[in-house]
A and B are shown apart, each in its own frame.
Chain A
Amino acid sequence: MSDTPTDQDARLRSEIDRAAAEYDAYVAELTADPAADTDDHIAAAVAALTDTDLPADRRAEVLRRSRPVLVSTGRGIDCLLRVVGERANDPALRTAALAGLRAAAFFVDTFAPYRTAYRDLLRDLLTDDVAGLRKRAVSTLANEHDPVLQQTLTEGLDGAGTLPVDRATAIRALAEDDHLDNVPRLRELLGSDSPDERQEAIRHLASYPEARGIVEAALRDRDEYRAVRQQGAASLRALDPDRFREVAKEIAADAGEHDDVRTVSLTALQHLGDTEQVYGDDAFLDRVREIRDEGAAPQAAAAARTMLDRRPGR
């Protein structure tokens, strides 16, 4: 017998009531007070989290279950900062507390008084023993274009200091700020064995007009992974839409090119950018008619038919 909406609603309400009851029971147990209010809860949670005699797994449970009040109150945020900052604490506890701080940052007004202390903490984490904390700190500080991070990574990449993360991650972190001189480092990333890293390099190179040739080369490289070529297309289109259109035409018309790549090119020409120019290019449309009849490239042929069917004024 299938659930009716009424059944589903009743079941949902029951689940909510059960979760609320469990939560209340947890707070009562934590505070040893069945009538505990939010302030009591926060006080008890802070006491537990900062009690170094308490087993790490118990403290982690308190953090997990009390997280809503910790991330939305000043006392809770202050506690989380202390938990992360205490290097003797269990790494998993510190990591969970750092995740809590990232959530707390969205409570803009409540978090405002702690923003500078949070950034200081993240800067401290760049030299932490726990790799996962260093990596998270790098990620957050990179989004902020933090000068301490940028100097640390630049010096590390130049061999004048210690990198807090691997070289590829450092390059990607610096590339978050397109006002830096990132092209030489992104060229290095482009030489990586990892297609994901090459794709990221191409993505970031879309911010640098002088890299137009590089992204075009990635788009044209038949031996390159599809995702990297696709990114090359997106980056070239961002840098130089006119040049992208010409390259896409060449790829679409190239019988030696992969069928799926030709198809994507035709689709992009049909839908993106200056379609008036595309449909106004009689020589290219003649070639599209030939592609329509290419048995060896069925996907491209189908895309060509669609493109011709949708020609304006037809």
Chain B
Amino acid sequence: MTAARRPPVADVGSQVDALRGAPGGAEELVALLPESSPLFDGRDAPEAARIRGYVLAAFAGTGLPDAALPYVRESLETGADADEIAGAAIGLRAHPDPPADVVAALGPAARHLTAIDATVTFASYRPSWPYENPTTGMREVVTTLAALAGSHPAARAALLDLAGQARRLSASARTQVEGAVAALPAGAPEPPHPCCSPAAEVPGTVATGPVLLEDQDGAVTGFDEFVRGHRSVVTFFYTRCDNPYKCSATVTRLAALARALHERGPAVRIAGITYDPAFDRPARLRTYGVDRGLRFGPDVRFFRAVSGFDVLRERFALGVSYGASTVGRHRIELHVLDDGGRVAASFTRVGWEPDEVLAALAEPRGR
């Protein structure tokens, strides 16, 4: 399940740079953000993270439209790369009035950066070391927090939280945070409407074609066979995802969801399907789930697609791209299906909590 090994697409940097000051550039930049964008096809994971960060930073030249906000929030909340987080922080400053939930994502970004921060630059797409116009993820996050702290309580709170952890910050970051805190005005009211509601899109009917699955014990079943006649939760992950805020966190939450469902009675089926079927063989799937507290059973299974993964990819409009060997980039992804196998609710890109999925399962069908 990998993209064909092909030469890199013509200069990503030039393509993005050309849009910075161009009329309609913001909308064209938004079109480059989804994992399904041709920009990501064939790109390895490190480059995919760089692309995402570089595109988000480019909004500084065009303004950040609302359509880009879910991507900014995703990169701040679950980005594991200083490039990506820095780009998101820069892009967010280009929005005239960012929603509270996106601003709040700066808090997790700052926490993650205390362990992974690095010197980055957006002076060019493929810079040489030493960098021209260097910055760091933390510097950009703090700059954005300082800019928003007067109008967004979440930014104020995150800034004060960072100040409380000053001993873990570099000297320059400490100085920057202290200066921002000293300049804090009086508190502000909570701004309105979140950008990305937890129970997100409800797409149209999604039928499935023939898809053959092998589970964590080597048992084979069809996708339709597993989900039809039962309400179901279907999520996607892969075991060698090296972003701890995505797949590992997803499966850990899935385990909590499974426990909650088990206590409530009537069976809801849970399917975790790997993006990486050639590598994630049954034993590996089992170990990954067990290590994160998942209890497998007839209604709770992990799968790899033996055939038909492309059918799943198309039918769920999966947010995943592939490099030469494995996943390049993917979004968080969970779908609630009705007993006809139709998608009733989707949680994509933004993190979900078990309670939110339980609420979606409790909704009457066909809402």
CB of B271 to closest CB in A, whole Å: 22
User: Which of A23-31, A175-183, A228-236 sits within the interface?
Assistant: A175-183
Q: How many A residues are at the interface, by size bracket?
A: 20 to 34
Q: Choose one: B167, B170, B325; the contact of A179 (CB below 8 Å).
A: B325
Once the chains bind, are B169 and A178 in contact (CB under 8 Å)? no
User: Which of B156-164, B277-285, B309-317 sits within the interface?
Assistant: B277-285
A147 to B54, alpha carbons, bound, how many Å? 14
CB of B65 to closest CB in A, whole Å: 28
A45 to B283, alpha carbons, bound, how many Å? 53
A30 to B256, alpha carbons, bound, how many Å? 58
Once the chains bind, are A113 and B5 in contact (CB under 8 Å)? no
Once the chains bind, are A177 and B130 in contact (CB under 8 Å)? no
Once the chains bind, are A148 and B5 in contact (CB under 8 Å)? no
Once the chains bind, are A148 and B129 in contact (CB under 8 Å)? yes
B75 close to chain A: CB less than 8 A: no
A37 close to chain B: CB less than 8 A: no
Contact residues, B102-159 vs A (CB, 8 A): 114-115, 117-119, 126, 129-130, 136, 138
A178 to B279, alpha carbons, bound, how many Å? 12
Residues of the A chain whose Cβ atoms lie less than 8 Å from the Cβ of B50: 147
Once the chains bind, are B136 and A109 in contact (CB under 8 Å)? no
Residues of the B chain whose Cβ atoms lie less than 8 Å from the Cβ of A145: 46, 242
- Count of B interface residues, CB-CB < 8 Å: 36
Question: In the complex, what residue of chain B is closest to A123 when comparing beta carbons?
Answer: B129
Question: In the complex, what residue of chain B is closest to A116 when comparing beta carbons?
Answer: B117
Contact residues, B318-357 vs A (CB, 8 A): 323-328
Given A112-B114, A179-B323, is A147 in contact with B167 using a C-beta cutoff of 8 Å?
no
Contact residues, B161-184 vs A (CB, 8 A): 167-171, 173-174
Given A123-B129, A178-B325, is A209 in contact with B279 using a C-beta cutoff of 8 Å?
yes
Most chain A beta-carbon neighbours within 10 Å: one of B174, B279, B328: B279
A208 to B278, alpha carbons, bound, how many Å? 9
A305 close to chain B: CB less than 8 A: no
CB of B257 to closest CB in A, whole Å: 28
CB of B164 to closest CB in A, whole Å: 14
A207 close to chain B: CB less than 8 A: yes
A112 to B116, alpha carbons, bound, how many Å? 10
Residues of the B chain whose Cβ atoms lie less than 8 Å from the Cβ of A150: 46
A124 to B44, alpha carbons, bound, how many Å? 25
Once the chains bind, are B46 and A113 in contact (CB under 8 Å)? no
CB of B156 to closest CB in A, whole Å: 23
Given A178-B325, A179-B326, A209-B279, is A116 in contact with B240 using a C-beta cutoff of 8 Å?
no
Residues of the A chain whose Cβ atoms lie less than 8 Å from the Cβ of B45: 179
In the complex, 23 of the A-B residue pairs with CB atoms within 8 angstroms, ordered by the A residue number, are A112-B114, A112-B115, A112-B168, A116-B117, A116-B136, A116-B138, A119-B119, A123-B129, A145-B46, A147-B50, A147-B83, A178-B240, A179-B46, A179-B240, A179-B242, A183-B325, A208-B325, A210-B2, A210-B278, A210-B325, A239-B279, A240-B281, A241-B281
